Each structure stands twice: as C-alpha cells, then as structure tokens.
C-alpha cells in the first residue's frame, strides 16, 4: 500500500466523524470512548444523525449536548421530514443557545408510520428556513449524491436540485458513500461546470461486515463493486479477514481521493472506532496537526 502520510499531513484535509444517537447514559459513555480513540486524528467536528419524523429528536439533542460538554465541535443533523416549521425554529434556537455553529440540513426519509405525512418538503426548503430564521449563524452542510439519489428522475435533475440547495444558502456538502472514486470525480466535475464552487466532502463508509453493507447500500442506492462483493462473500465466515479487507479497500479509496485533492473526508463511523481509526492511521492523518 502506498505511503500517503506526507501528502495527507501536508494538505490537512478536513476530517469529520458521524455518529447516531446512542441509547441512554451508558451509550453516551460508550461514545466518549469512541471519541477518545478518534481524537488522535483531530476531527474538525463530530456530527449526529436525526431520525426524520422526529424519532431521535431527544437522542440527537442529548448527543450534541454531550459532545459539546467534551469541548468538541458538534454538528446536529436536522432532517426536515414532515416536521412543522415552528418546531424546527425552536430547535434551531435551542442549538444556537447551546453553542452549535454547524448543522447538516437534510430532507431525510420519514419511516412509515411516523408523523402525519411523509417528506412534505425537500432539503432546499429547510436550508431556506434556516437562513430565514437564523441568518448566517450556522455553517450549513447539505447532502450530495455522486451515484445519483435513488428517487431522482435523472442525474441532471439531481444536480439541478442540488444546485438549488446551494443557492438557498448551503456552505458545503457531504456525499453519500461510494466505493468507486470516479463517481465522485464525475459529480465534482459536473458541479464545477454548473458553477458550484462549494467544498464537496466525500462520505466514507468503512466496511466491517457483509450483510450490513449489502442491505444498507441497497436502501440508499450506493453501488458496491462486484469484485468487492465477491471478495466479501468468500470471506463470509472470516470476521478478521473481512475487517482487514474492508480497511484495505477503504484506505485505497481515501488515498485516491486525497491524491485528487478532496478538501476532506467524512467518516460514517456507525459509533465504532476500529475501522475508521485503522483507515485514518494508514492515511497518516494522525500527523496532520
Ligand atoms: P433533497 O435534497 O431534498 O433531495 C431528495 C430527492 O428529491 C432527490 O431525489 C432530489 O433530486 C429531489 N428533489 C430535491 N428538490 C426537489 C424539488 N424541488 N422538486 C422535486 N424533486 C426534488 N437521513 C436521515 O433521516 N437522517 C440523517 O441524519 C441523515 N443524515 C445523512 C447525512 C448525509 C451526509 C447523507 C448523504 C444522507 C443522510 N441521510 C439522513 C439520508 C438522506 O436524508 C436521504 O438520502 C434522503 O432521501 C434525501 O435527503 P436530502 O437532504 O438529500 O434531500
């Protein structure tokens, strides 16, 4: 494997790590241990997901409060789902008072049976509402889809709707995960040709087990290359083998992206530190301060 330590250290890519709200105080204590393990890479911020429809409203809030109490930069996700404007404004005020400076603004996918309606607005509306209510207080991250959002009519439409979110006031974007970097390069080129200059941060999903990655990728429209699936399949009963292979694949993906000069990496940690830690160490990100 190539040694990219020097390159990564010199360029200081932005690093962020995503969590979901853990359950209860013991869950938060567990998250503190994860944060301790990731601290060597000096993540610029930690984000926490939000279940569209409000299902994790308290959990996201408590996790953000906990991360802030550890003196970390914490960014709540806010998935508009079918939430009312007033309840979103109240949450924005609360986050501002807590010291939050960054929000990941999303439409979300409201699970069936939650809320009165499904996805009554898109992320563009949420970005507009946040700017209307909170001005420039928050740095706004939005989602981008190098392999095209599953509901989009066409790549052109998807890019156009992405551009509208940017025009509405997004500062930077984090992508859905992918394992083929050329999907990202193609999207970044098309975005640049459309005049979009905001930083595009690739979302990186560590591979730690076969079933999880297959199920998750099917739901969110991420493509897992055939050779990766075949290798994972053949390692099905070899957990250490899957972990080692996953770390190698994801390290090589990140090396490729850093060589291409991406402005940062956003790790979907799934509240675990092992794989993210191994990939960041391989990339020499512990030398970036
Ligand atoms: P949008 O930007 O609104 O786009 C959704 C779809 O609608 C796209 O197909 C788009 O092309 C289309 N569209 C947009 N605007 C219009 C318009 N004006 N007219 C017609 N079509 C339009 N989900 C959660 O529930 N909670 C989370 O915490 C969460 N975190 C995420 C973090 C990241 C970095 C990413 C990449 C995704 C995350 N998701 C999360 C998943 C995300 O909510 C889903 O992918 C969701 O389906 C789309 O959200 P969006 O913000 O991209 O929506």
Report how far apart, in Å, the C-alpha atoms of 286 and of each of 4, 11, 96, 204, 235 are: 12, 13, 31, 17, 30
CA distance 267 to 46: 9
pLDDT value at residue 99? 98
Phi, psi of 212 (to 5 degrees): -60, -45
pLDDT value at residue 8? 45
> Whose Cα sits closest to atom 51 in ligand 1?
106
Q: What is the pLDDT along the chain (289 residues), one digit of tens a residue?
A: 444 444 444 568 999 999 999 998 899 999 999 999 999 999 999 999 998 777 788 999 999 999 999 999 999 999 987 788 899 999 999 999 999 999 999 999 877 655 555 666 899 999 999 999 999 999 999 999 999 999 999 999 999 999 999 999 999 999 999 999 999 999 999 999 999 999 999 999 999 999 999 999 999 999 999 999 999 999 989 999 999 999 999 999 999 999 999 999 999 999 999 999 999 999 999 866 5
pTM for the full model? 0.95
Domain extent listing, the chain = 5-282
CA distance 180 to 2: 18
For residue 168, the SS3 value is helix
- Residues near ligand 1 with C-beta < 6 Å? 49-52, 77, 79, 104, 106-109, 122-124, 143, 149, 151-152, 157-158, 161, 165, 174, 176, 203
For the chain, the distance separating the N- and C-terminal CA atoms, rounded to the nearest angstrom, is 23
User: Judging by DSSP bridges, how do beta strands 200-204 and 172-177 pair with one another?
Assistant: parallel
Q: Return the H-helix or E-strand segment holding 48.
A: strand 45-48
pLDDT value at residue 289? 56
Token pair in block for residue 74:
């914490």
Q: Which atom of ligand 1 is nearest to the CA of 20?
A: 28
pLDDT value at residue 80? 83
58 contacts: CB under 8 Å, gap ≥ 6: none
Neighbour tally for 10: CB within 10 Å: 10
Q: Which of 54, 103, 127, 161 to mutate to test the pocket of ligand 1 (most atoms within 8 A of CB)?
A: 161
Q: Do residues 280 and 286 touch, judged by C-beta distance below 8 A? A: yes
**Largest Cα–Cα separation, the chain:** 53
pLDDT value at residue 224? 97
pLDDT value at residue 157? 98
CA distance 6 to 4: 6
Q: Which atom of ligand 1 is nearest to the CA of 50?
A: 28
> Whose Cα sits closest to atom 36 in ligand 1?
176
**Best CATH choice for the domain 5-282 from the list 3.40.50.1820, 3.90.1170.50, 3.20.20.220, 2.40.30.60:** 3.20.20.220
């Amino acid at each position: 494997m190539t040694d990219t330590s020097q390159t990564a250290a010199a360029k200081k890519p932005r690093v962020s790590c995503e969590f979901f709200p853990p359950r209860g105080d013991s869950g938060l204590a567990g998250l503190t241990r994860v944060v301790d393990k990731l601290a060597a890479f000096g993540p610029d911020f930690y984000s926490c997901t939000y279940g569209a429809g409000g299902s994790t409203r308290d959990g996201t809030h408590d996790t953000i409060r906990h991360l802030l109490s550890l003196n970390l930069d914490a960014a709540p996700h806010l998935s508009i789902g079918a939430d009312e404007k007033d309840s979103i404004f109240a949450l924005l005020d609360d986050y501002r008072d807590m010291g939050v400076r960054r929000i990941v603004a999303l439409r979300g996918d409201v699970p069936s049976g939650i809320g009165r309606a499904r996805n009554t607005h898109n992320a563009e509306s949420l970005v507009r509402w946040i700017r209307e209510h909170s001005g420039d207080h928050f740095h706004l991250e939005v989602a981008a889809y190098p392999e095209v959002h599953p509901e989009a009519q066409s790549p052109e439409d998807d890019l156009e709707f992405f551009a509208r979110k940017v025009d509405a006031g997004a500062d930077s974007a984090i992508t859905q995960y992918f394992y083929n970097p050329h999907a990202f390069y193609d999207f970044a080129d098309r975005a640049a040709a459309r005049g979009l200059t905001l930083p595009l941060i690739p979302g990186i999903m560590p591979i730690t087990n076969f079933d999880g990655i297959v199920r998750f990728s099917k739901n969110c429209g991420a493509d897992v290359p055939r050779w990766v699936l075949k290798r994972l399949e053949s390692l099905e009963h070899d957990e250490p083998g899957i972990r080692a292979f996953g770390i190698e694949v994801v390290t090589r993906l990140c090396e490729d992206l850093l060589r291409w000069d991406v402005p940062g990496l956003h790790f979907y940690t799934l509240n675990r530190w092992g794989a993210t830690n191994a990939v960041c160490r391989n990339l020499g990100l512990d030398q970036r301060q």
